[in-house]
Amino acid sequence: MTVMESAPVTAPAKPRNCAGLRDGPRRPDGQDQYTISEVVGLTGLSAHTLRWYERIGLMPHVDRTHTGQRRFTNRDLDWLSLVGKLRLTGMPVADMVRYAELVREGPATFAARERLLTAHREDVRQRIDELRDTLAVLDYKIDLYADARLGSEGEL
């Protein structure tokens, strides 16, 4: 079976664990040259998505071979790991692009980057609270159904 261009249709294991890199076959700095399909394997993102990230300005600047093929580095992998986490926590792509721009502009934007991340952290905290609230409702409802089930069994 050959490596296909598109993302797998039948989910391989769980695509949920795309946040952090499956850090296995990572090459030492200096010889870190990954093709796009290697990065697909390492990140779980599709090649389409990786190219799209670059097009919209979400990648710091990806190296190319003399024939124009992308060669990703360990640094790119680290960046994609961060992007994956931000995405998983619901940061809009536009905000991530904004953050990427700030990174490209250099150390002068440290304060702005800190503000952006701090605002997002506040968002994430609120969302955790929301989720916990709902968990309580869910527990309550599930208990109701469980009780009803046990009750009807008792009647048999």
Q: Among a second copy, DNA, none, what does residue 5 contact (CB within 5–8 Å per kind)?
A: DNA
- Give yes or no for a contact between 51 and 90, defined as CB atoms under 8 angstroms apart: no
82 binds a second copy (CB under 8 A): yes
3 binds a second copy (CB under 8 A): no
Q: Among a second copy, DNA, none, what does residue 55 contact (CB within 5–8 Å per kind)?
A: DNA
Stretch that binds a second copy, among 1-9, 30-38, 44-52, 84-92 (CB under 8 A): 84-92
Output the smallest distance, CB 152 to DNA, in A. 33
Is beta strand 70-71 parallel, antiparallel or unpaired with respect to 63-64?
antiparallel
- Give yes or no for a contact between 76 and 59, defined as CB atoms under 8 angstroms apart: yes
Task: Kindly tell me the sign of the dihedral angle through the C-alpha atoms of 27, 31, 32, 36.
Answer: negative
Which string of x and - marks every residue 36-75 that binds DNA (by CB under 7 A)? Answer: xxx-------xxxx-xx--x--------xxxxxxx-----
Q: Which is nearer to DNA, 62 or 112 (CB)?
A: 62
DSSP code per residue over 47-85: HHHHHHHHHTT-SS--EE-TTS-EEB-HHHHHHHHHHHH
HEC string for 108-130: HHHHHHHHHHHHHHHHHHHHHHH
Site for a second copy in 16-55 (CB under 8 A): 16, 19
Closest CA to 83 of 103, 107, 64: 103
107 binds a second copy (CB under 8 A): yes
Q: Applying CB under 8 A, which residues contact a second copy?
A: 16, 19, 82, 85-86, 88-89, 107, 110-111, 113-114, 117-118, 120-121, 124-128, 130-135, 137-139, 141-142, 145-146, 148-149, 152
